[in-house]
Structure 1
Amino acid sequence: MRYEFKERDAWDLVRFLGIQGKQRGDELQLAECPYCHGGKNRKDKGSSSINLRTGQFKCLRQSCGVQGNMLTLARDFGYMLIPEVEAAAGARKTYRTLKTPKEPIRPKPPAVTYLESRGISRQVAEQYEITVQTEHTNVLVFPFYDENGDMQFVKYRKTDFDKTRDKNKEWCEAGTRPILFGMKQCTDFETLVITEGQIDSLSVTEAGVKNAVSVPTGARGFTWVPHCWEWVRKFRKIVVFGDFEKGHMSLLDELRQRFPNPIYRVEEADYQGCKDANELLCKHGAAAVKAAVERSKPVPVRRVKPLTEVSRVDIYKLPKLKTGVCQLDRLLGGGLYFGQVDIIAGKRGDGKSTLAGQIMANAMDQGYKCFVYSGELPDYLFKAWLDFQVAGPANVVENYREDGSVNRFVTNSNMDRINAWYQDKCYLYDTGIIDDDEPEDLVKTLRSAIMQYGVKVILIDNLMTAIDLDVDENTEKYDRQSRFVKKLARMAMQYEVLILLVAHRRKNVYTNDTNDEVSGSADITNLAGIVMSYDRDKELPPTQRRLVVSKSRLMGKLCLDGYVMDYDERSKRIYGFGDELNREFGWQKAGDFELVEGMIPFDEEISFE
């Protein structure tokens, strides 16, 4: 994709770097150079700038003298300029097309009566076209229009919900595109106020605050982000007015990681002991709601916090991914921890990619969204092996060709179920569009996938192809490897994701240190949280491998003698002592489907009449 410089990109990048900037003519002068920081004693301030017409960057300090452009800065500091992620073929979801009413929907009296009981006027109800179902006047209807005025999503809410009688308080139309409620009613791109519930965004509007929207499926549902990302990014700043409970505001953490906009938050004191904007409106009036938005404060600069704010953490309770290998999970304290880069090393052809693929299958089964870069296997071959692992030996059919060779496959009906299970769980990097600057393109794509799709587990197979090394060997390749892995480590920590990095062993090994056997720069294993190797062993039969753990930064426990692992050729599954070869994945469970908490699909015809 070709990048076209926009002035706002320079300001967004400066905010991302945490550097103050001031416009002077066509130049955005920076308080300090992001490369040299003003010299040894930081005395040379204001020596660098970005041209707001061309995007060109320069530092005038003689000992620095770095020059470049916005792409250079984005590359060197891990900032995303072009939010473009290519998903695996067939992974993109199709949505129902809803018919947009020709005339604005007029609220029915029961809708107005209920909203007035919540402090929301008829005028606001008419502005947002809130009504009730024709045959169920106790069910509110919230139409979600996009910025062009087209209806994309519809949500329902019972006004007389009783948890002893009713199964659900809210639900939505099945198969419709999730977007933010209130996009159509936004009037400019100054400040966007994002709340958790529709009643809350209506309360903010009632208080005289413009550009109030709410998420479609609660604080845990972020399926709307890919469909609204570009639109939200246009706003000068975002104010988060989420539900506040137990000292924590919903939405805040996710939004600050998903969007580059300056993020502001409503202060705890301005909630006045209330849970949300509507409760504040009902108890303290519209002025209190408006003041809460106006007094919102910027979220503190990332990566900067007082030591006193660091909480005590029980490392055994930290989120972790179970690998599916019982002995390995036990050694690591429950699995692979998020927020770090873990390495799987091994010789070519020994099965390290197979092990990595099986860990990704387990990640999907635990509900984590995954992203895979496979530099050696074409996408169809990677998927074919993963299909066998997910299907399991009981669902892989074997027959024999005329020459006596074995033909293995998964039946069409089971593949349909497996593909349905894959939906929105895993994305692949499209190697068909790689340009000459692959390492930077890959890092940028990973960051975009994390922000827009909520990816939590990433597999890079493997390091050598990921950095697009030149054929002739020279010292430069180690610098490139080191720089690349450092970016991965920063990304893993910043977004609390797990990155699995597959690496080759050295061809000629003259060391007894397993970590030194990983091919490439020493920084690779130094930056890793866990280093594993998966190899053949002369003492083992051909169908077995040895899994060694040579580094475990968090737990400190190693297994240098290794665990003996078996391999099932039929299903490509790897298993060891205590593992279940025939374990079932989610696609085999009856009625397996994924829903956001508190939501159920609703196939009833949308009724506005």
Structure 2
Amino acid sequence: MGRLCFNDVLLCEPRMIDPSMSTGLWWCQSPEDVQAVGVNAVCLSVTGRWEDVKNCGDWLSQFPFVFVASPDRELVEQVRRHVRGLPVLSPREGAFGGYPSITAFLEAHLPSEINGILYGAVMEPSYGLLELARVSVLDEREVPRTLSGLPVLDKLTGGFRSGELSVWTGKRGEGKSTLLSQILLEAIDQGHKVCAYSGELPAGQFKAWALVQAVGPGHLDLFQDPEVGEQISCAQPMAARRVDEWWAGRYYLNDIRDGSAHDEDRILDEFTYANRVLGCDVFLVDNIMTTRLSGDRDFYRAQSMFTQRLTRFAKAQGVHVHLVAHPRKTQQGKPVTDGDDISGSGDIANLADNVFSVRRLSDEEAENEGCSSLVYVMKVRNRGKRGKVGLEFDSDSCRFYPPGKGPSKAYGWERMGEQTTLVDLGDAPVPFEESGGNV
């Protein structure tokens, strides 16, 4: 029976191929079906891959159309997906009369009846084209999203939408990670579940900083570092316990103690598990420089490829991914106000749906701007907007907040049930208690 041809992708009998025939090319399920059809019949070879069918494009283009000679809908979808630029036809309903294959059909019918299967064949829509009239309109009011909790930023972006990737950049120490940590808390407060990869911070330190932000300035213990005299803040124990109850089952962190934890495949595997099993829909990669990238030897190209994978993950799973990327070293102290300033091949900003830069201002700049930090909104694909957002920063609680508003927002853990304020009465008399102990 025949021989392999076309780079071992397709199986056919070359002597039985005649592209001038009006019956087109019949794509069969098996070699037995190819032999049963005889003329202009082909199937995927045993060693062939669907991905390699594109290499046969020039040969396939000789035929007026491809007819999938099988009732198997899965085969129809594979041919439709991988045969490009040609009409793909599938059998009408009932054409095979309940028989599972061409071979089985011909065992019960005369050879002359085989062409009847082609009559009434259905033209399959192109795999890569949509008819606009049949496309459902996206209702912006129904798109899942999370808000940053910063009104001006949310007005510019419309919130962080599902299926999108946001890239954050800025100089080291400008507040990118701190602001994103706060944005994850906002997501939890809005009922979302989050998962973070932090390539630099051990889990204990990551949680300590997140706790300080979560409890806020009203629930902090402040003390002086005895060695350097610097003021340090930490969450009060009772507040920390309440926060643990609040974000239990909602906040997950990649364990970087494992040797492979920084591999891009591992990160994406953990994110996929967090989404499918745990229900997480907001993700953070902080930062791309700490990931162990694979594939391309060129580091910048590898960064771009990883960003592509994150973008596909976001769109396929309907989640939002925040990615921290550093600016180019050539900036030399200049503010990062353009996506082209991001380190890498230049594709990272192009692939992102949103691009932001965080910058801490000098005292002189802060006086002129009326704030201590700026977030530059460099790209919002959904809205086409650009702008800048002024923020203040509370160093004790590590919270950003709008100028004039204050950092004392109460998160959900403070709203869980009725709260009772405990006061140490010291030596004060107990109400209603007499010396004899009777009321």
For this structure pair, what is the TM-score category when the shorter chain's length is used for normalisation? 0.5 to 0.7
Measured at CA, do residues 520 and 401 of structure 1 come closer, stay the same or move farther in structure 2, by a change above 3 Å?
closer
Q: What aligned pairs does 1:344-423 form with structure 2 within 5 A after superposition?
A: 344-402=168-226, 404-423=229-248
Q: Which letter maps to 1:591?
A: G
Q: Which residue of 1 aligns with 2:436?
A: none
State the shift of 1:527 in Å.
0.8
Name which of 307, 310, 322 aligns with 1:488.
Answer: 310
Conservation of the 8 A alpha-carbon contact between 2:378 and 2:386? yes
Conservation of the 8 A alpha-carbon contact between 1:327 and 1:578? no
Name which of 339, 342, 349 aligns with 2:163.
Answer: 339
Q: Which residue of 2 aligns with 1:524?
A: 348
Name which of 310, 315, 319 aligns with 1:497.
Answer: 319
Q: Does 1:533 align with 2:357?
A: yes
Conservation of the 8 A alpha-carbon contact between 2:167 and 2:356? yes
State the shift of 1:524 in Å.
0.6
Q: Does 1:565 align with 2:387?
A: no
Measured at CA, do residues 461 and 21 of structure 1 come closer, stay the same or move farther in structure 2, by a change above 3 Å?
farther
Q: What aligned pairs does 1:76-225 form with structure 2 within 5 A after superposition?
A: none
Name which of 533, 549, 554 aligns with 2:377.
Answer: 549
Q: Which letter maps to 1:33?
A: W
State the alpha-carbon separation in 2 of the partners of residues 492 and 465 from structure 1. Answer: 20
Measured at CA, do residues 450 and 307 of structure 1 come closer, stay the same or move farther in structure 2, by a change above 3 Å?
farther
Q: Which letter maps to 1:552?
A: V
Q: What aligned pairs does 1:187-336 form with structure 2 within 5 A after superposition?
A: 307-333=132-158, 335-336=159-160
Measured at CA, do residues 304 and 536 of structure 1 come closer, stay the same or move farther in structure 2, by a change above 3 Å?
same
State the alpha-carbon separation in 2 of the partners of residues 553 and 458 from structure 1. Answer: 19
Q: Does 1:574 align with 2:400?
A: yes
Conservation of the 8 A alpha-carbon contact between 1:399 and 1:407? yes
Q: Which residue of 2 aligns with 1:439?
A: 264
Q: Which residue of 2 aligns with 1:249?
A: none
Conservation of the 8 A alpha-carbon contact between 1:546 and 1:565? yes
Measured at CA, do residues 314 and 468 of structure 1 come closer, stay the same or move farther in structure 2, by a change above 3 Å?
same
Which stretch of the first structure deviates more once superposed, 513-522 or 434-443? 434-443
Q: Does 1:587 align with 2:413?
A: yes
State the alpha-carbon separation in 1 of the partners of residues 258 and 385 from structure 2. Answer: 42
SS of the equivalent of 1:432 reads: coil
Gaps in structure 1 of 5+ consecutive residues: 1-19, 45-301, 593-609
Q: Which letter maps to 1:410?
A: A
Conservation of the 8 A alpha-carbon contact between 1:479 and 1:521? yes
State the shift of 1:315 in Å.
2.6
Q: Which residue of 1 aligns with 2:105?
A: none
Equivalences, count: 310
Conservation of the 8 A alpha-carbon contact between 2:264 and 2:294? no
Measured at CA, do residues 407 and 28 of structure 1 come closer, stay the same or move farther in structure 2, by a change above 3 Å?
farther
State the alpha-carbon separation in 2 of the partners of residues 467 and 365 from structure 1. Answer: 32
Q: Which letter maps to 1:452?
A: V
Gaps in structure 2 of 5+ consecutive residues: 1-27, 33-43, 62-126, 419-439
Measured at CA, do residues 304 and 28 of structure 1 come closer, stay the same or move farther in structure 2, by a change above 3 Å?
farther
Q: Which letter maps to 1:585?
A: Y
Deviations along 1:317-352, one digit per CA (max 9) or x if unpaired, are 42221101111001112x111111001111111110
State the alpha-carbon separation in 2 of the partners of residues 501 and 21 from structure 1. Answer: 45
Conservation of the 8 A alpha-carbon contact between 1:21 and 1:28? no
Q: Which letter maps to 2:309?
A: K
Q: Which is helix-richer, 1 or 2?
A: 2
Conservation of the 8 A alpha-carbon contact between 2:194 and 2:252? yes
Measured at CA, do residues 402 and 499 of structure 1 come closer, stay the same or move farther in structure 2, by a change above 3 Å?
closer
Q: Which residue of 1 aligns with 2:329?
A: 507
Measured at CA, do residues 527 and 416 of structure 1 come closer, stay the same or move farther in structure 2, by a change above 3 Å?
same
Q: Does 1:461 align with 2:286?
A: yes
Name which of 292, 296, 300 aligns with 1:478.
Answer: 300
Q: Which residue of 2 aligns with 1:288?
A: none
Conservation of the 8 A alpha-carbon contact between 2:212 and 2:233? no
Deviations along 1:192-219, one digit per CA (max 9) or x if unpaired, are xxxxxxxxxxxxxxxxxxxxxxxxxxxx
Measured at CA, do residues 425 and 35 of structure 1 come closer, stay the same or move farther in structure 2, by a change above 3 Å?
farther
- Sequence identity, in percent? 31
SS of the equivalent of 1:508 reads: helix
Q: Does 1:34 align with 2:39?
A: no
Greater Rg, structure 1 or structure 2? 2
Measured at CA, do residues 42 and 435 of structure 1 come closer, stay the same or move farther in structure 2, by a change above 3 Å?
farther
Deviations along 1:533-567, one digit per CA (max 9) or x if unpaired, are 001234434982211001010011110xx222111
SS of the equivalent of 2:211 reads: helix
SS of the equivalent of 2:329 reads: coil
Conservation of the 8 A alpha-carbon contact between 1:332 and 1:555? yes
